[in-house]
Structure 1
Amino acid sequence: MAYKPPTRAGATVYVWSNYSLQERDRRWKAVRESGAKAGFDCIFVPLGDGIDARYLTQLRCSSVVLPTDGRPPIIIADRSSSNTWAPEPWQTSREWSEPMAEALLELGMERARIGVAGLKGGRVSHVTSIDGVVNHGAFAAVMRRLPNARFEEATDILGFARYIKSAEEIASMRKAVEIAEAGLAELAAAARSGVDAAALYARVMARMLELGAEYFPWALTLGMSDGSDAKRFTDPPLGRRLKANSLAQTEMIAVFGTQIAEEDQAVLLGPIPEAWKPVVARQREIFDEGVKLLTPGRSCAELLEFSKSVAEKGGMKAKVRLVGRGAGDDGPVIGAMTQPDALKELTVEKNTLWLWRPTVTGADGKTRFTWGGTVLVTEKDGELLSKRAHGAISVA
């Protein structure tokens, strides 16, 4: 018997939900087929795995049971939530374990093999969440209701579906990059000696929200051009003011259509020091080489070897960060701390998106330069979606 929600209901929070029904069907088909190939009777996205649930529903807070035999899913949604992808979800308020269990029972999963997304960190999704993201209490209650079912890890089923982007997702990422670069332009226009750093942060955020971005904190490292007094902020930097030769190193993050763009840019209040020039040139050299390597079929292990090969030259040291991008906590992650086993059999694929961000430190050990942006892997090579010129921005 289908779960009946409580009579009380509350207002829901608006989220962007403009992907087409064709996009919904593409995602459901990809997850169904991968789940069936892995031998699962259904894919279950429980409470807690908000990223994967939103991927399948476009809802702010939901849970999904997607049978792999082609039947439509049952979607449990928060309060009065619904949209074109899920016009009639089972709605709940604060009780989640009961409707999730009832959804599984309604679909005949009493003795099924159930693939659970978000149960632990995956290879290309939830990569920083080693112990998973599911709400343990609600999930444990569901397992007690279905004692004869087998609940097994299936994070990679959703992860690899998310890894390859559709035309609609790529268009959203292009828009996210455009918004992030507009945020950088706003920062460069307003950054002056004496400006309150917290007000500057808020002004940049406001500009990105005006252009349609979802709220997502961007990171700002404030210090001096010689590398001193540096501190990283992900909220407005209260009590700080810019001054001559201040260096604002940004990780400008904009989210549009769930796609998360990050554009890394140094903004300096003053002329570019001579000591920076060879460091910037070396960073540009590594950046361009890396973009050329982002081609379909290339092994991620080869990219890790590339990151090691550029680690030091002429007294300058480089650390690279190459990360799969999408709806959040994406991978693979390739950098100095990456273990080769984590990349085993992983390859770059057409229509994947990446953040490419090398950092080079000068021979003096103080001068440091980072510049990065979003790269789309096309049929033949990597396409840098960022439109701004490479280099530091000098503000008088």
Structure 2
Amino acid sequence: MTPVFSLAERDRRWDLARTFMAREGLDALLVFGEHEDAGPAPVAYDTWFTNGRPGATVVVTAEGAPVSLLPGPMYIMDHLESSRRGETMWIPPENLRPARSSRTIVEALHASGLDAATIGVVGLGSHMPWHPEGIIPYGLWNAVLTALPRADFRPVDLAFGQLILPLGAEEIAVLRRSAAIGDAMVEAMVATAAPGVPESHVYAAGMAAGYRQGTLPAAMHLWSGPDVIAAGPPAWGQRPQEPRTLADGDVIYAEVFANFGGRHTQNQVTIAVGDVHEDFHRAALVARAAYDAGLAALRPGRTFGDLVDAMHEPIDAADGWPFLIAVHSLNPGLSVGKGRGLFSRIPGTEGYPRIADHPAFLPEMELVPGMSFAFEPNYAYGRHLAHLGGTVVVGEDTPIELNAYTAQLLHARGDAA
């Protein structure tokens, strides 16, 4: 049976937000949501309040339903049609507004008597990795500040993000469904990959599996080659060129982003095509050791910094090099593991800018049951990289491992097209 969010889940969230407002001395919250096609790690706190289409700006006060300012009339038509079909909508029609410009924000705050209020803002603070200095446009925010000179606006992004990181029981059920969809996407990719197959066919197989499961996964990251060191969308998705054709000895690196009901999961994928270099297997052993160390450290009462340090112990002890971070939070994407300056270790990087080490972000954050994380340990010997992992949740006693399938080096089993 497909899990859904009930009105009890709605009330749990709204009550939690209002408890937060009272604790922080806030009269209201002003919550900005990123565009619905934002891709991986979207800033979508608006949907936490609305259970609706991403991209709204939400005003939350101490009583009543939030007011949802929408990007355009099509959002209202979607709400109307969903209501007509019998779906339970969290925001009533009278609390919808057909625009989210600075003018409509000011009007909504004025209508709620908030001209001189203390208002917590989600959208001004850091949202890693894409928005380290916030998502609110300068022109919009300058107009709001000019129109409401007596209001006290306070960034609350990090505090509110940590408030909602522990998922409720209904959210974890939805997260499990998202993780299962991610596994199905990877299984389709493994079944398709083979020498002679364009990597675009592997990409298409994975995305199609996600669509068939009844959701809209974000565009995945995918690269392939015998010794490729890269991450991100495939080159043929960015420039006019032919997709690469797989060959024996290649590996496929992919990061698969499943999204079901606004709960996000990630699969970190390395698929061996035929006989691959032995160093891939060696690197996978180090990455798996880091994954297992993370499972052992993911316990209530410990800190995110403890988790990061535990995952890096086997990484630091080996004689190759790590590619990217080993772990970050999900739902929302908030805490980020430490990174190493990597370019000095890759041949052929002369002339490129150096990348400095960076510490973990929010290392002091306490681990609480219900928090979800992307475990993505990676390791390389020379140019032979293994990247594996998936979504893990802090349990009451032991971790809840949702994507064990991709916590290993996978092997293609497809046939050439």
**TM-score, length of structure 2 as denominator length:** 0.81
Which residue number corresponds to residue 60 of structure 2? 66
Which residue number corresponds to residue 304 of structure 1? 308
Paired letter, 1:233: P
Measure how far apart 1:350 and its partner are: 0.8
Measure how far apart 1:228 and its partner are: 4.6
Measure how far apart 1:230 and its partner are: 5.9
Which residue number corresponds to residue 347 of structure 2? none
Alignment of 1:23-34 (within 5 A): 23-34=9-20
Q: Which string of whole-angstrom CA distances, capped at 9 and with x for unpartnered residues, describes residues 101-160 of structure 1?
A: 122112111211111111121xxx555422211233333323333221111112134312
Cα distance in 1, alignment partners of residues 316 and 170 from structure 2? 40
Specify the SS of the correspondent of 1:111: coil
Q: Which string of whole-angstrom CA distances, capped at 9 and with x for unpartnered residues, describes residues 66-116 of structure 1?
A: 11x334322223422536101214444456222221221121112111111
1:344 to 1:323, Cα distance in 2 relative to 1, 3 A: closer
Q: How many residues align?
A: 370
1:251 to 1:24, Cα distance in 2 relative to 1, 3 A: same
Which residue number corresponds to residue 365 of structure 2? 346
Alignment of 1:127-276 (within 5 A): 128-224=130-226, 227-228=227-228, 232-234=232-234, 238-276=242-280
**TM-score, length of structure 1 as denominator length:** 0.85
Which residue number corresponds to residue 39 of structure 1? 25
Which residue number corresponds to residue 367 of structure 1? 384
Paired letter, 2:327: L
- Residue 335 of structure 1: which of 313, 333, 338 is its match? 338
CA RMSD of aligned residues (A): 2.6
Q: Which string of whole-angstrom CA distances, capped at 9 and with x for unpartnered residues, describes residues 155-201 of structure 1?
A: 13431232111112111111111111111111111112221222331
Q: After TM superposition, which residue ranges in structure 1, 4 or more long, deviate above 6 angstroms? A: none
Paired letter, 1:291: L
1:294, 1:348 within 8 Å by CA — same for their partners in 2? yes
1:36 to 1:156, Cα distance in 2 relative to 1, 3 A: farther
Q: Which string of whole-angstrom CA distances, capped at 9 and with x for unpartnered residues, describes residues 340-370 of structure 1?
A: 6x435311111100111111223xx232211
Measure how far apart 1:25 and its partner are: 1.2
- 1:286 and 2:290 correspond: yes
Whose helix proportion is higher, 1 or 2?
2
**Deviating more after overlay: 85-94 vs 212-221:** 85-94
Cα distance in 2, alignment partners of residues 231 and 108 from structure 1? 48
Measure how far apart 1:292 and its partner are: 0.9
Measure how far apart 1:18 and its partner are: 4.4
Q: Which string of whole-angstrom CA distances, capped at 9 and with x for unpartnered residues, describes residues 309-344 of structure 1?
A: 3333352334651110115xx12111224426x435
1:275 to 1:112, Cα distance in 2 relative to 1, 3 A: closer
Cα distance in 2, alignment partners of residues 355 and 331 from structure 1? 11
Specify the SS of the correspondent of 1:222: strand
- 1:57 and 2:77 correspond: no
Question: Percent identical across equivalent pairs?
Answer: 24
Paired letter, 1:394: H
Cα distance in 1, alignment partners of residues 119 and 135 from structure 2? 17
Cα distance in 2, alignment partners of residues 157 and 366 from structure 1? 40
Structure 2 gaps of 5+ residues are: 36-42, 84-88, 340-356
Measure how far apart 1:286 and its partner are: 2.0
Specify the SS of the correspondent of 2:214: coil
2:274, 2:412 within 8 Å by CA — same for their partners in 1? yes
Specify the SS of the correspondent of 1:64: strand
Paired letter, 1:119: L
Whose strand proportion is higher, 1 or 2?
1
Which residue number corresponds to residue 352 of structure 2? none
1:135 to 1:247, Cα distance in 2 relative to 1, 3 A: same
Cα distance in 2, alignment partners of residues 322 and 184 from structure 1? 20
Paired letter, 2:150: N
Q: Which string of whole-angstrom CA distances, capped at 9 and with x for unpartnered residues, describes residues 22-46 of structure 1?
A: 1111111111111211111111114
Cα distance in 2, alignment partners of residues 59 and 292 from structure 1? 36
Measure how far apart 1:389 and its partner are: 6.6
Paired letter, 1:380: D
1:126 to 1:101, Cα distance in 2 relative to 1, 3 A: farther
Cα distance in 2, alignment partners of residues 165 and 235 from structure 1? 36
Which residue number corresponds to residue 382 of structure 1? 399
